[in-house]
Structure 1
Amino acid sequence: MKLKAIVITAIVAMVGTSCNKSFLDINTNPNQLPTASPSTVFTNALFTTATNIAGTSGGQGSSEIGYYWSGQWSQGNGYIISTTQFAYQYTDGDFNYWDPYYDNLEDYQYVINNADANNQKYLKGPSKVMKAMLFQQLVDMYGNLPYTDALKATAALAPKFDDQKAIYESLITLLDEAIVDLKANAFASAFTGSDIVFNGNITRWVQFANSLKMRILIRQSKITGRDAYIKPEINKIVTEGSGFITGIDVGVGGPSFFLATAGKLNPVYDRWGYDANGAKRALNNFPRPTQFLVNSLKAAGDTLRLKRLAYANGGENASTPGVSTQKEVMANYSGTPIGASSGYLPANTTSLGPSLIVKGEYNRPYILMTASEVQFLLAEAKQRFSDVTLAGTPKAYFEEGILQSFRVLGANTAGAAAFKGSKIQNYDWDASTDKLAAIAIQKWISLANLNGLEAWAEYRRTNLPVIPQSAQVPEANKRPLRFFYPNTEGGSNSANVKAQGTIDVFATKLFWDVD
């Protein structure tokens, strides 16, 4: 969206080495022909996606605000309370994820536009999958936005805004196109290293595309009359035959990509954990698992996942990575109330746990989508639309979703099986009186520490779980529903921004937010 000069001073990634957006930003300069290999641009685009969502040591990613506003994280009391985040006092100068997302989308569009000419057709399908994922996230943050006119450089300097529902439908079409491209173009063996998600595994990319389609479809499932559109689309996915992401997660990077070098660490580790030399980041004490999350897990006896989501009070033991300083018993796990500004210091509250940060583990993949989320999508699809051709039962998908949540967090999966027949509401399928609520609550738990942006979107859609209001907000029902369009877009594309009308971030709902 924003025109930037090409900056290419290093070529990396085809052999799986790391790269840094600051020196490998590939966006089309309208006055100069780009010469970067699509494979190099693709690798860097994936890394940039991870850092845009997760954040870096120097800035907040889009997922972070989702953790706060979905009731999973609060703020440590060693810092002045952030009123933009916890009093909801934000403007069009705050939370600008628009520019970096469109910047990243330019990279994927560059690959799509140049893959054929460079005999790298196998990159078109994956780039379209990533393009669809990012556009859905943009819609979920901003509503109407440029889509058909976007990413055209000088051909559309003031791109028109498209209706958000129409964009959602276009993303399903885009994913269909991606699947056709993927099936027609296997990765060249010499270039599988440029794919730092699936290492050139086309089947996995198709399954990821199908899983994203389910995310897009189920997001609309509460809209009256929308089932006439959703059900045939679900059946089309089943007919396609490749299935969904199962038993593994979609992650960027990993041991062969992230390095113990500044700017080349897993972005979560870099922001909230440690630097390249193993020194704890000052921000390690900022995000705090909420009292609501901690107490909810305790009440259900869900202690195995709690110990993976959070370290006990006092944090990680500096000499024993992955283990809490204090004894890991429930009395030593104390969450922080949402928006509390005093009384909850690092020494007496839990911190982000070993599912996210372990000293020395700088090279974990950054997860974009979990197998657990996919199972809960399937559970809701089958529960809401019993006549779709999905082979499993809602109960089977639900129970597999819990199991996969235990797996991705690193908890003993036997703990998931223990909830079957437990009679615990929203854990035991048979005992849960509201099946859709049980699915929503378990999905919320499964997204903790792994996908804050998705957790916030699902909270807005389902209103579950019923989280406490921030201590900084006197109005019980005042909740942020979206962001303002950023002032950068208002300045460069003012007529189209103004055409969207007055945005009230507490009342202007997205099209799928019907309650």
Structure 2
Amino acid sequence: MKKLSIIFSLVLLLSSCDKFLDINENPNYPSDVSDELLLTSGIAAVTNVYCADWGLIGSFWSQHWAQNNTSSQYKIYESYAISSNTNVIERSYRAMFVDGLSDNEIFLKKVEANENWGAYLMGAVIKAYGFQYLVDMYGNVPYTEAFLGLDKLNPIIDRGEDIYANIYQLLIDALDKDFSNYVIENYELNDIIFEGDIDYWAEFANSLRLRILLRQFDANSAFATAEITQLIADMEAENIYLLDKDVAVTNFEDADSKSNPLYESDQRQLNTTNNLKACATFVSYLEANEDTRIESLFTPVSGVFLGLVPGSYNVPSTEFEAPNLIASPIVEPEMPVYWMTFAESELLIAEAYLRLGNVEMAKAYYESGVAESFSRMGADIGDLLSGAYAFPTSGFNDQLKAIIMQKWVDAAEGGRGIESHIERVRTGYPEETTINDQIQVGYTLPAEYIPGTLIYSKKGTTGGILPRRFPYPDSELNFNSNAAEYKALSDADVILQKVWWKN
């Protein structure tokens, strides 16, 4: 497989030629760049945004991590003070469109023209994956006119529900194509996720379909129920398959510009290991349940796993120095970036069965998902599935909570907090503490605190309401005349707005 030094060079080379909103070429008439290189570039760029930018913010908002009190790099994340001109919001939005989805759109056009349907499925999955996150975190975004270059400098802003319908149908159509002429050897080196294995891409497409359906279950229940019923029936009949392995980019090196994007941006480029600390919310939950995954997720101090209360970053170092007291998340240069884990896919199926009223199968897939999460992290599950993590015997809300809480824990590995943040917005789990006012800055929680309940940041700027979404970046607001939807609102109000599937 190609190393990421080559991959990220490709990202820079290819993205210099096509720009979102001001691109010089129309992807309907792409220049002569090989589709294999475009595939690599698109995957690498999406991976970088998902992990190093969105994953980092999501890990603060999911309260996996907290800001160290002897540094200040991520205070705005933990205080919910991001704005339309915050660098990471501007950078990640444009990078997802320009460096990731734009190159992928050119790839899609090229392989579609050649009726290369196996490669087309890869591009369709990447497009659906990227746009689902754009809708989940920004609401309404450009879609139908997003990549028309000079032909459409002010693309319309499509409704989130319409984008969801489009990407779902895109996956259906791509899965229905004839893959018999697909040549895996053409993509083994450049597909840095599955090495060209189209069967795995089909499995990922089906797991992504299920995630898209579950996201909209409350807002579009008739459609979601019908589609989930058919998807599960097809799975049981073995007409389709869902993931049985992780979706991961793994070929990182411990070298400058070749390492995991989160490690590269947070530790190598900033030349420190002290920005990120464990959050008291999360470690309290793991410790209360004697969850051994804590040892795979954090490095303790003197054998003790302490976490910071969100918003404790201004505690004077004369009171305590977090690096000498608080556990640190394990972030390593060769750490994989998981687009979706096998554990998550199993937990998605568990929720699907629960929604359809089949508690027995929901329990089976729940237990499989939890066991797989422990296995991937190299942790001993012991008797937790018959103890603290036993699937509730009754009560839909309790059963759904059990599933989502396990997704919360699973997403803590590798900085995938953006997914658990979205799931919290969708389901309300983890729940919020009812004693927020009794919790003080620092690392000590009162006896009345329920482990794992979210704590509104002691430095929160959104009036006691946890954030839901990102603000639009300035580049969209200022240069696209169709992007007026949130322009009149303050950034603090924007991040409290609901996306379409949260009624």
TM-score by length of 1: 0.82
Cα shift at 1:100: 1.0
Cα shift at 1:188: 3.6
Residue identity in the other structure for 1:74:
A
CA contact (8 A) 1:65 1:453 kept: yes
Cα shift at 1:337: 1.1
Q: Which residue matches 1:421?
A: 386
Q: Which residue matches 1:403?
A: 371
Q: Which residue matches 2:169?
A: 173
Shift of the 231–375 alpha-carbon distance from structure 1 to 2, 3 Å rule, reads same
Shift of the 31–305 alpha-carbon distance from structure 1 to 2, 3 Å rule, reads closer
Q: Which residue matches 1:5?
A: none
CA contact (8 A) 2:189 2:195 kept: yes
Residues 129-178 of structure 1: CA distance to partner in whole angstroms, max 9, x if unpaired? 00000000000111011111111112221111111111111111011122
Q: Which residue matches 1:455?
A: 420
Q: Does 1:197 align with 2:193?
A: yes
Shift of the 409–27 alpha-carbon distance from structure 1 to 2, 3 Å rule, reads farther
Counterpart-to-counterpart distance in 1, 2:254 and 2:485: 47
Residues 416-449 of structure 1: CA distance to partner in whole angstroms, max 9, x if unpaired? x511321x2xx11146751111111111111113
Q: Which of 67, 71, 79 is the equivalent residue of 1:79?
A: 71
CA contact (8 A) 2:25 2:149 kept: no
Counterpart-to-counterpart distance in 2, 1:286 and 1:406: 27
CA contact (8 A) 1:132 1:175 kept: yes
Cα shift at 1:381: 1.1
Cα shift at 1:237: 2.8
Task: Indicate the SS of the match to 1:468.
Answer: coil
Cα shift at 1:334: 0.7
Residues 259-307 of structure 1: CA distance to partner in whole angstroms, max 9, x if unpaired? 44421222233234558xxxxx6342111120111111111111x1011
Counterpart-to-counterpart distance in 1, 2:484 and 2:25: 29
Alignment of 1:274-293 (within 5 A): 282-293=271-282
CA contact (8 A) 2:101 2:127 kept: yes
Alignment of 1:338-349 (within 5 A): 338-341=310-313, 342=315, 343-349=320-326
Instruction: Identify unmatched segments of 5+ residues in structure 2.
Output: 432-453
CA contact (8 A) 2:17 2:25 kept: no
Shift of the 139–505 alpha-carbon distance from structure 1 to 2, 3 Å rule, reads same
CA contact (8 A) 1:432 1:438 kept: no
CA contact (8 A) 2:141 2:160 kept: yes
Q: Which residue matches 1:306?
A: 294
Q: Which residue matches 1:229?
A: 223
Q: Which residue matches 1:366?
A: 337
Q: Which of 129, 143, 155 is the equivalent residue of 1:147?
A: 143
Shift of the 198–26 alpha-carbon distance from structure 1 to 2, 3 Å rule, reads farther
Alignment of 1:424-439 (within 5 A): 424=388, 427-430=389-392, 434-439=398-403
Alignment of 1:26-425 (within 5 A): 27-28=17-18, 30=24, 34-55=31-52, 61-80=53-72, 82-94=74-86, 95-96=89-90, 97-103=92-98, 104-116=100-112, 121-181=117-177, 183-223=179-219, 226-238=220-232, 239=234, 241-246=239-244, 248-254=245-251, 258-273=252-267, 282-302=271-291, 304-313=292-301, 326=302, 328=303, 332-341=304-313, 342=315, 343-353=320-330, 356-357=331-332, 362-386=333-357, 393-412=361-380, 415=381, 418-422=383-387, 424=388
Counterpart-to-counterpart distance in 1, 2:153 and 2:425: 33
CA contact (8 A) 1:478 1:506 kept: no
Instruction: Identify unmatched segments of 5+ residues in structure 1.
Output: 1-11, 56-60, 276-280, 314-325
Residue identity in the other structure for 1:464:
Y
Higher RCO, Cα 8 Å, sep 6+: 2
Task: Indicate the SS of the match to 2:277.
Answer: strand
TM-score by length of 2: 0.83
Shift of the 506–220 alpha-carbon distance from structure 1 to 2, 3 Å rule, reads same
Farther off after superposition, 466-475 or 92-101? 466-475
Shift of the 14–190 alpha-carbon distance from structure 1 to 2, 3 Å rule, reads farther
Shift of the 190–505 alpha-carbon distance from structure 1 to 2, 3 Å rule, reads closer
Could you tell me the percent identity over the aligned residues? 28
Counterpart-to-counterpart distance in 2, 1:152 and 1:306: 47
Counterpart-to-counterpart distance in 1, 2:334 and 2:202: 25
Cα shift at 1:474: 7.4
Shift of the 15–443 alpha-carbon distance from structure 1 to 2, 3 Å rule, reads closer
Counterpart-to-counterpart distance in 2, 1:475 and 1:158: 31
Shift of the 344–460 alpha-carbon distance from structure 1 to 2, 3 Å rule, reads farther
CA contact (8 A) 1:140 1:510 kept: yes
Shift of the 484–31 alpha-carbon distance from structure 1 to 2, 3 Å rule, reads closer
Shift of the 420–15 alpha-carbon distance from structure 1 to 2, 3 Å rule, reads closer
Residues 224-255 of structure 1: CA distance to partner in whole angstroms, max 9, x if unpaired? xx331012212343427221112x2101242x
Residues 171-225 of structure 1: CA distance to partner in whole angstroms, max 9, x if unpaired? 11011122234735523424321111111111110010011111111111233xx
Residues 489-514 of structure 1: CA distance to partner in whole angstroms, max 9, x if unpaired? 112113x1114674422542112223
Q: Which residue matches 2:435?
A: none
Q: Which of 451, 455, 466 is the equivalent residue of 1:479?
A: 466
Q: Does 1:464 align with 2:429?
A: yes
Between the two proteins, the alignment pairs up a number of residues equal to 454
Shift of the 262–22 alpha-carbon distance from structure 1 to 2, 3 Å rule, reads farther
Counterpart-to-counterpart distance in 2, 1:34 and 1:489: 26
CA contact (8 A) 1:14 1:191 kept: no
Counterpart-to-counterpart distance in 2, 1:123 and 1:13: 18
CA contact (8 A) 2:64 2:278 kept: yes
Counterpart-to-counterpart distance in 1, 2:178 and 2:133: 22
Shift of the 384–499 alpha-carbon distance from structure 1 to 2, 3 Å rule, reads same
Cα shift at 1:27: 4.4
Farther off after superposition, 177-186 or 342-351? 177-186
Shift of the 500–349 alpha-carbon distance from structure 1 to 2, 3 Å rule, reads closer
Counterpart-to-counterpart distance in 1, 2:60 and 2:208: 24
Residue identity in the other structure for 1:235:
T
Which consecutive aligned stretches of 4+ in structure 1 deviate over 6 angstroms post-superposition? Answer: none
Q: Which of 384, 387, 404 is the equivalent residue of 1:440?
A: 404
CA contact (8 A) 2:143 2:163 kept: yes
